[in-house]
Structure 1
């Protein structure tokens, strides 16, 4: 069953960014624009341009205490003698020197990011117009010190055109739902611009007025089935051209492993969505839609059988020794780490911290991870907690406090690495102790043993060796 009214309620109550946040975002962007207009940043500002999911109206509410971000381009005239890096560096200087934004500012390769105390951040990027030829637009890569062609307005026009072929904004709504599946399941990595482009290619002008996009669940089923068919025909990573700039391949945002993982999970979720639509009774359909979207779908309906059976299945696969039965990995890959009971976080072999707790211990400590084929390679691909990974290579773990700040100099970091699963327990004899960072505050861990493993960061104050910060576990699922 399609359950169209339940989808409308689910979008409004769970998926869509609520109006309060949208209004606050608008006020913050307006303040940033006014600040820049009055600042001593040298380039002449021509225009501010919304970019990304905010401009496309596919922005969604953050899940699991995550963040939503908005992209703001500052279109400027070129400055004689300035390199690409200078535009970003000088923009960062202006924000860092301000009393209002100084502590909220981080400078990245292409943009300056302002992170607010709640769950919002705004990326501000210079966009240089007519630098060498009339009509050209270029973003600035600070790391490589190069100008790169860009056509953000044309891309937004393309997305809006695609949505115009669907009924009742169903294309946009289905896009939000697919992004929600990505964020809530954490089963695959796919940057929003790449995901949106892949989705955009699944609808054409001849779809206008057809039943395939008449409502939200129909659009979702159509997009996922067409995307799955396209992916299954391409076992190797294909090219995904930017529709507004053919020379740009968005597929470069993936490595081969991430593409294979995305391909597999789109196939799995396509099957689940088909089964939910084909269910002939309301209760059975809700059960199957909840397998896709979790408990938030059809709130208030007393249909808990599917979730209970999955949780019971996970609990039955656990063992006191943490040498869990092999099926636990597959169950977590299918349903996410959310099905793990709380006792999983504290297996018997895990060591307690040897440092005493301070009077106040912050839980606003975040772990970020990048996958790399070797320990000595440069920057790798960002992975999420609970994302299924193949054996081989490893992860660089890094830690931040208050979402974006580095650990203060008066503190140091220790990592607790906890292995589970039969293979790891047999070889590593129940590894669950504390490790020093490998480089600065970062820790390297190889991906060797099938299982569901955990990494935690502890921030310890130097003057009295007390714990002042602790992260939530970062789950590493090795297939």
Structure 2
């Protein structure tokens, strides 16, 4: 690695770790459900235990109001009970008590109990009724509606995950956040499949960025040779193919997303610029990955008196409170533009080369024309004669006119720059939005006045 991202990854992993009050909420729900199941089925407390990412120490906070959960296994089913009956009896038991009756949702492999949303996202508990298999491997059997019983070893898988060590845990957490941030990846591969693939391809490298980058590269190198999903054996139950339900279409979509991830990973490994490296990590892992702030690079909003005035357009400023306008912005993410994230006024520091989409929100009792204005500031833009200040109609990135309440821009010059929109009717400016400040850093171009 050309730059050291160790502190950035430590902060990132802290940012995505599920904390309080969610952990206490999960523990409280699991304890209440476990007590109920022990009493309902008359089984030892050891027969009800946690499985999944929470037990495996790989749980991450959900993205954008998504879901977080905890999975419970209850060894409570007799040997001659069908899979459907086992799930139906568990569902009936939960519906019979006021404590859980309003929370029950039927699922194919489990019964789900849904809890109220909080500021992190929605929360649920999945409960799987299992039975002893009568053999050493697999020790248990789990039901699936209309599909019978299937061997499972949840406690053994949890122990296997923990045995992989802290580097594996850190890499899985990062890769799970990549999966959650990139919507096509989320739909293309199951979390457990991704976790096992990571164990097969992850190098034992201490540096988080290098380890993640190499995992992406080797994964793509091997999987891109295939047209159908590989067999992914359960590491504690080799007879089970975890990729059994992985369709060829989803697999190939996963390979496409890996290819883009490799491009960002290559940037991370090769750049000597800490901002470029952190920005590439953010493209992969989302806004929880820290980047430098405008203050860190000493950006300032400088003089923009060069901006064109309405009078220079031949317009009269005649503001009317019935007319209002404001603008919102998003940053287009991904080399194919498949993901966008909101951009706040005077917010994060953006690297050059990002595409920004601005949208005007307006209130107007009569027809008006929407105009846009950009005012660049700072020594970088001045040095290349790009101190823009003109008033213009909205355009796309190719410079062609589009819907007048929209406008696209690309980030290019180090500095704090401004954009606003104006409502004009019959050569009168009826409303102007506040200036929206965009902070930009161009590689190799420190801020200068």
Q: Same fold (TM over 0.5)?
A: yes
Give runs of aligned pairs for residues 176-255 of structure 1, distance below 5 A: 176-188=173-185, 189-203=188-202, 212-255=204-247
Quote the Cα distance in structure 1 between the aligned partners of 2:80 and 2:158: 31
Residues 57 and 80 of structure 1: CA distance in aligned 2, closer, same or farther (over 3 Å): closer
Give runs of aligned pairs for residues 423-442 of structure 1, distance below 5 A: none
Quote the Cα distance in structure 2 between the aligned partners of 1:73 and 1:301: 45
**Paired residue for 1:24?**
25
Q: CA deviation at 1:57?
A: 0.8
Give runs of aligned pairs for residues 5-404 of structure 1, distance below 5 A: 5-13=7-15, 15-39=16-40, 41=41, 47-76=47-76, 78-79=77-78, 81-118=80-117, 119-131=122-134, 136-144=139-147, 146-163=148-165, 169-188=166-185, 189-203=188-202, 212-299=204-291, 301-302=293-294, 333-338=336-341, 341=357, 343=359
Residues 156 and 217 of structure 1: CA distance in aligned 2, closer, same or farther (over 3 Å): same
**Paired residue for 1:453?**
none
Quote the Cα distance in structure 1 between the aligned partners of 2:138 and 2:181: 41
**Paired residue for 2:316?**
none
1:305-348 deviation line (CA, Å, top 9, x unaligned): 9xxxxxxxxxxxxxxxxxxxxxxx996844414378585999xx
Quote the Cα distance in structure 2 between the aligned partners of 1:134 and 1:152: 12
Number of matched pairs: 308
Select the structure of larger CA radius of gyration. 2
Residues 345 and 93 of structure 1: CA distance in aligned 2, closer, same or farther (over 3 Å): farther
Quote the Cα distance in structure 1 between the aligned partners of 2:232 and 2:85: 31
Deviates more, 1:79-88 or 1:292-301: 292-301
Is residue 51–residue 152 contact of structure 1 (8 Å, CA) maintained in 2?
yes
TM-score of the aligned structures, taking structure 1 as reference length: 0.59
1:169-209 deviation line (CA, Å, top 9, x unaligned): 22211111111111112122211111111112124xxx6xx
Quote the Cα distance in structure 2 between the aligned partners of 1:175 and 1:57: 10
Give runs of aligned pairs for residues 433-452 of structure 1, distance below 5 A: none
Which structure is higher in helix share? 1
1:189-231 deviation line (CA, Å, top 9, x unaligned): 211111111112124xxx6xxxx42132232123222212221
Quote the Cα distance in structure 1 between the aligned partners of 2:108 and 2:78: 19
Q: CA deviation at 1:117?
A: 0.2
Gapped regions of structure 1 (runs ≥ 5): 164-168, 306-328, 347-479
Residues 82 and 4 of structure 1: CA distance in aligned 2, closer, same or farther (over 3 Å): same
Is residue 89–residue 142 contact of structure 1 (8 Å, CA) maintained in 2?
no
Is residue 60–residue 173 contact of structure 2 (8 Å, CA) maintained in 1?
yes
Quote the Cα distance in structure 1 between the aligned partners of 2:225 and 2:249: 17
Quote the Cα distance in structure 1 between the aligned partners of 2:333 and 2:63: 23
Q: CA deviation at 1:159?
A: 1.9
Q: CA deviation at 1:7?
A: 1.1
Q: CA deviation at 1:262?
A: 0.2
Q: CA deviation at 1:25?
A: 0.8
Q: CA deviation at 1:139?
A: 0.3
3-state secondary structure, aligned to 1:69 = strand
Is residue 191–residue 253 contact of structure 1 (8 Å, CA) maintained in 2?
no
Residues 294 and 132 of structure 1: CA distance in aligned 2, closer, same or farther (over 3 Å): closer
**Paired residue for 1:458?**
none
3-state secondary structure, aligned to 1:213 = coil
Q: CA deviation at 1:72?
A: 0.9
Q: CA deviation at 1:252?
A: 2.3
3-state secondary structure, aligned to 1:27 = helix
